C-alpha cells in the first residue's frame, strides 16, 4: 500500500487562511479519492507560509473493478426500443446478453468498469482540487488564468511504496508535478528531492523549515516562556496570536526585547494592542507589578549575529509606534482635562451612526434617556446612569480609539478616571459594550447594566424601526449578538422587567411584538444550550408576561425539571388525555364545558378523590403562582397525577347518563384549567 505526499508550493499565503486551507485540502483530496474507489489509512495536512501539504498513508494501489448490469427491452420489443437501449449503454447488439425473464426473453447489458491505478486517480483529484480550491480570496498572476491564493510555483506529488517513490504526473496550467521542493527562502533556497513523507520532513528540517504548524507554535511558546522566565517575567498568553505567528514563519526564532522606560506609563492595554496589531509581538509582563515591560517577536530565520540586527530594527519600529501611541494618549488626556469627557465626545454629533438613524450624538441622547428609564429597575441611580450614558461613547472621538478601534470602552474608562468621574461611570464606559461574545462576563454593577441595556436596546429598536433585521447568515449590525447580550444581562442579574415597555420607550416606531418574537428565538437558542427543550420554552412563552425573561426562564426551568420526573411525564399524558376528550366533546357538542363540575354527581371513590385533589391543588397552586414559586407549583401538580390516572382507569367519561357525562366533562375542564395555568402544555411534544 503506497503513501501519498502532496505539496503545493506558493508565494506567501496569509496566515489566517492556513487552518481552513489545510482542512479543505485534506477533505477535497480524500473525498475525491474515496469517491473514485480508493481507500486510505491516515491523512494529515500541514502548512507553512509557502506550502500546503497533505500526507496520506496506506492508499490502495488501484480502484476495484466495477460490474454493472442493466435490464433492457424484451428481445421481441420494437426495433426503436432496442436501438435506444444500445445507444444508452454504448454497446452493440452482439454484446448484449439474453436472459429468461417471467415475461419472456430480455436483453441485459453487462458492463465492467476496470479499476484505475491510484496515480491516475490522484492526478485527476488533485487537479480538480487545485482548480476548485475554496480560497476566501484568490488571484491570477502573470499571463495565466489559474487562481490560487498567491502565485503557485510548484506541485510535489509522489506515491511511495517499498519499491521507491514515483511522481504522479500532473500538469495544471503549465505547472508540472515533480518530486522536488525548496527549503527556507533565505537560509536554504536550493532544490530538494524527496522520496516520501519522512524523508521530506527530515530534509525540510535540515533546510531550516519546520513543516508542522503545531510544532512551530509549541517551539515559539516554549522559547518565549523560557526567555521571559530567565528574567523573572512572563509572556501574556494569546492563542490567536500564537497561531498567526506560527503561520508567518518557517524557521521560528523568538527574540525578546524590553520596552523603553518612556512608554511604561501607557495603559497596558495600549501597549499590548499596539504591539500585537502592528507588529505581532507577544507582550511580556512583570508578574510583581502587572506592568507590560517587554515583548517577544518571532523572526523567520537564524542569523550570524543571533538576531541582534533584527531585534534592533524591531525595537526601532516599536519605539516609533509607541511614540505615536504616547502622543495620542497625551493629547487625549489634555482634551479631557480642558473639555471634560463629554467635551471629548462633542464631535459625535457630526458622525453618522446610520443614515436613517441619525448621528452618534443623537444616539447618545437616546441611550441617555433610556438608561435613565431603566436605572430604577436595575437598582442604579438614574442620574449616574444618565451621566454614564452621556460619556460612554466619548472615547470614540479620542485619537487612541481612532487608531485602535478595539480599545473602545477601555480608553473610555481611563479617560473617565482622569476626568475624576465616579468609579461607576468609569466602569460603565468600559463595560457597557459587554457582553460581546457568548462567554464574556456579564456586567453586574447596576450603572453598567443600565447603560449596557440601553445601548443594546436602542440599537435593536432602531434597526427594527427602519426594517434592517438580520436575515439568514446576514447580520451586519450584529443584532443577534445585541439581543443575546440583553438576554444575558437580564438573566444574570435576575432583572424583573417588561422588555416590551422598554422597546416602546426606546423607539415608538418599532414593531414591539416582532422584536419580542426575535428575542424569544434568541432565548430558545440560549436555553437549548442549557439543556431546556424548545417545546418547553414554547409552552412557557405562550403564557402572559412573556416579555419578562426572568419569569419565563424560572417557569421553563421548573417545568423542564418537572418533565424529567415520572410524575411529570405521566401528568402530561393525563392532561393530554383530558384535553383530547374534552376538545372532541366540545367540538361535537358545540359548547364549552367550563361551568365547573358538581361533586354531588360523583359516583365512585376515584371520581370523588379527583374532586378533592383538584380542590386541594387549586388552593395550593394559586398562592404559589402568586409568589412565583414554580417548584412548589410543580410539586402540587405532581400530586394530581395519581388521582387523574385512577380516575381515567375507573370512570367512563362518556356515560350514557347525559348529566353524568356533562359533569365529568366539566371535571376534565378543571384539570385542563389547572394545567394551563402553569404553562401551555398543549405545546409539549410527545
Partner 1 sequence: MSKPAAPRSFQEIILRLQAYWASKGCAVLQPYDMEVGAGTFHPATTLRALGSRPWAAAYVQPSRRPTDGRYGENPNRLQHYYQYQVLIKPSPPDLQELYLGSLAAIGIDLDLHDIRFVEDDWESPTLGAWGLGWEVWCDGMEVSQFTYFQQVGGHDCEPVSGELTYGLERLAMYVLGIDHVMDMPFNDPSSPIALKYGDVFRQTEREYSRWNFDQADTAMLLSHFEDAEAECERILAADDTDAAGRRIVMAHPAYDQCIKASHLFNLLDARGVISVTERQAYIGRVRALAKKCADAFVTTEAGGGA
Interface residue list for partner 1 (CB under 8 A): 11-12, 14-16, 49, 137-143, 149-151, 153, 186, 248-249, 279, 297, 299-301, 303-305, 309-314, 316-318, 320, 323, 350-352, 355
Q: Give Cβ neighbours of residue 185 (< 8 Å, ≥ 6 apart).
A: 50, 250
Shortest CB 172 distance to partner 1, Å: 15
- What is d(CA 527, CA 515) in angstroms, rounded to the nearest whole number? 18
Given the complex with partner 1, which of 193 and 354 has the nearer CB atom?
354
Given the complex with partner 1, which of 299 and 671 has the nearer CB atom?
299
Q: How many residues does the chain have?
A: 686
Q: Which DSSP category does 635 fall into? A: H
Given the complex with partner 1, which of 88 and 303 has the nearer CB atom?
303
Residue 221: its H or E element? helix 213-230
Given the complex with partner 1, which of 143 and 626 has the nearer CB atom?
143
- What is d(CA 100, CA 106) in angstroms, rounded to the nearest whole number? 6
Task: Choose among 359, 348, 434, 441: nearest CA to 391.
Answer: 348
Shortest CB 529 distance to partner 1, Å: 34
Given the complex with partner 1, which of 279 and 673 has the nearer CB atom?
279
Shortest CB 266 distance to partner 1, Å: 18
Neighbours of 63 (CB within 10 A): 21
Shortest CB 301 distance to partner 1, Å: 6
Given the complex with partner 1, which of 191 and 591 has the nearer CB atom?
191
Cβ neighbourhood burial of 426 (10 Å; 0-12, 13-18, 19+): buried
Given the complex with partner 1, which of 248 and 491 has the nearer CB atom?
248
Shortest CB 339 distance to partner 1, Å: 18
Shortest CB 128 distance to partner 1, Å: 23
Given the complex with partner 1, which of 331 and 673 has the nearer CB atom?
331
210 backbone dihedrals φ, ψ, rounded to 5°? -95, 115
Task: Choose among 561, 559, 490, 563: nearest CA to 522.
Answer: 490
Beta bridge partners of 201: none
Shortest CB 142 distance to partner 1, Å: 4
Shortest CB 49 distance to partner 1, Å: 7
Contact, 443 vs 463, CB < 8 A?
no
Shortest CB 488 distance to partner 1, Å: 33
Helices (H) then strands (E): counts for the chain: 23, 18
Contact, 196 vs 238, CB < 8 A?
no
- What is d(CA 428, CA 414) in angstroms, rounded to the nearest whole number? 11
Beta bridge partners of 42: 57
Given the complex with partner 1, which of 295 and 433 has the nearer CB atom?
295
Cell of 327: 502622543
Amino acid at each position: 500500500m503506497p503513501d501519498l505526499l502532496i505539496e503545493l508550493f506558493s508565494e506567501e499565503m496569509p496566515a489566517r487562511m492556513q487552518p481552513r486551507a489545510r482542512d479543505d485540502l485534506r477533505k477535497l483530496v480524500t473525498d475525491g479519492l474515496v469517491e473514485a474507489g480508493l481507500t486510505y489509512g491516515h491523512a494529515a495536512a500541514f502548512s507553512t507560509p509557502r506550502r500546503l501539504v497533505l500526507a496520506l498513508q496506506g492508499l490502495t494501489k488501484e480502484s476495484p473493478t466495477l460490474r454493472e448490469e442493466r435490464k433492457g427491452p424484451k428481445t421481441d420489443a420494437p426495433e426503436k426500443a432496442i436501438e435506444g437501449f444500445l445507444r444508452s449503454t454504448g454497446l452493440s447488439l452482439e454484446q448484449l446478453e439474453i436472459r429468461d425473464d417471467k415475461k419472456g426473453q430480455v436483453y441485459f447489458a453487462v458492463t465492467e468498469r476496470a479499476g484505475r491505478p491510484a496515480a491516475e486517480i490522484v492526478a485527476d483529484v488533485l487537479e480538480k482540487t487545485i482548480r476548485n480550491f475554496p480560497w476566501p480570496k484568490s488571484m491570477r498572476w502573470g499571463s495565466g488564468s489559474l487562481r490560487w491564493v498567491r502565485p503557485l510555483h510548484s506541485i510535489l506529488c509522489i506515491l511511495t511504496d517499498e519499491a521507491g517513490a514515483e511522481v504522479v504526473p500532473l500538469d495544471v496550467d503549465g505547472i508540472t508535478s515533480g518530486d522536488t521542493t525548496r527549503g527556507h527562502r533565505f537560509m536554504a533556497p536550493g532544490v530538494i528531492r524527496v522520496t516520501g513523507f519522512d524523508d521530506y520532513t527530515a530534509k525540510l528540517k535540515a533546510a531550516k523549515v519546520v513543516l508542522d504548524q503545531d510544532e512551530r507554535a509549541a517551539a515559539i511558546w516554549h522559547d518565549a516562556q523560557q526567555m521571559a522566565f530567565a528574567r523573572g517575567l512572563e509572556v501574556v498568553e494569546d492563542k490567536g496570536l500564537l497561531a498567526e505567528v506560527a503561520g508567518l514563519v518557517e524557521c521560528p526564532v523568538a527574540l525578546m526585547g524590553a520596552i523603553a522606560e518612556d512608554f511604561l506609563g501607557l495603559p497596558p492595554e495600549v501597549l499590548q494592542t499596539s504591539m500585537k496589531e502592528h507588529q505581532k509581538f507577544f507582550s511580556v509582563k512583570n508578574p510583581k507589578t502587572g506592568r507590560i515591560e517587554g515583548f517577544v517577536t518571532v523572526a523567520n530565520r537564524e542569523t550570524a549575529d543571533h538576531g541582534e540586527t533584527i531585534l534592533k530594527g524591531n525595537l526601532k519600529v516599536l519605539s516609533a509606534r509607541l511614540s505615536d501611541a504616547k502622543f495620542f494618549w497625551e493629547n487625549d488626556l489634555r482634551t479631557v482635562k480642558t473639555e471634560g469627557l463629554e467635551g471629548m465626545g462633542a464631535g459625535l454629533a457630526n458622525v453618522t451612526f446610520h443614515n436613517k438613524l441619525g448621528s452618534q450624538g443623537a444616539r447618545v441622547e437616546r441611550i441617555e434617556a433610556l438608561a435613565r428609564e431603566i436605572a430604577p429597575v436595575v437598582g442604579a441611580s438614574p442620574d449616574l446612569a444618565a451621566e454614564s450614558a452621556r460619556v460612554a461613547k466619548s472615547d470614540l472621538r479620542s485619537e487612541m480609539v481612532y487608531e485602535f478601534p478595539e480599545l473602545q470602552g477601555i480608553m473610555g474608562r481611563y479617560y473617565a478616571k482622569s476626568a475624576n468621574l465616579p468609579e461607576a461611570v468609569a466602569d460603565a464606559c468600559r463595560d457597557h459594550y459587554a457582553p460581546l461574545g457568548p462567554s464574556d462576563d456579564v456586567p453586574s454593577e447596576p450603572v453598567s447594566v443600565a447603560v449596557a441595556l440601553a445601548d443594546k436596546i436602542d440599537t435593536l429598536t432602531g434597526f427594527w424601526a427602519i426594517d434592517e433585521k438580520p436575515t439568514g447568515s446576514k447580520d451586519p449590525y450584529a443584532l443577534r449578538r445585541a439581543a443575546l447580550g440583553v438576554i444575558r444581562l437580564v438573566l444574570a442579574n435576575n432583572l424583573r422587567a417588561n422588555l416590551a415597555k422598554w422597546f416602546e420607550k426606546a423607539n415608538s416606531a418599532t414593531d414591539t411584538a416582532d422584536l419580542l418574537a426575535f428575542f424569544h428565538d434568541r432565548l430558545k437558542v440560549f436555553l437549548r444550550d442549557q439543556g431546556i427543550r424548545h417545546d418547553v420554552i414554547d409552552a412557557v412563552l405562550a403564557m402572559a408576561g412573556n416579555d419578562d425573561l426572568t419569569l419565563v426562564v424560572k417557569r421553563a426551568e421548573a417545568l423542564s425539571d418537572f418533565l424529567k420526573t415520572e410524575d411529570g411525564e405521566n401528568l402530561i399524558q393525563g392532561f393530554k388525555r383530558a384535553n383530547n376528550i374534552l376538545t372532541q366533546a366540545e367540538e361535537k357538542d358545540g359548547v364549552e364545558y367550563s361551568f365547573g363540575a358538581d361533586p354531588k354527581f360523583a359516583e365512585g371513590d376515584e371520581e370523588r378523590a379527583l374532586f378533592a385533589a383538584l380542590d386541594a391543588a387549586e388552593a395550593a397552586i394559586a398562592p404559589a403562582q402568586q409568589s412565583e414559586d414554580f417548584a412548589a407549583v410543580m410539586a402540587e401538580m405532581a400530586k394530581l397525577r395519581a388521582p387523574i390516572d385512577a380516575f381515567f382507569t375507573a370512570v367512563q367519561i362518556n356515560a350514557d347518563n347525559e348529566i353524568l357525562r356533562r359533569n365529568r366533562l366539566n371535571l376534565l375542564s378543571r384539570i385542563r384549567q389547572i394545567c394551563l395555568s402553569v404553562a401551555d402544555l398543549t405545546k409539549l411534544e410527545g
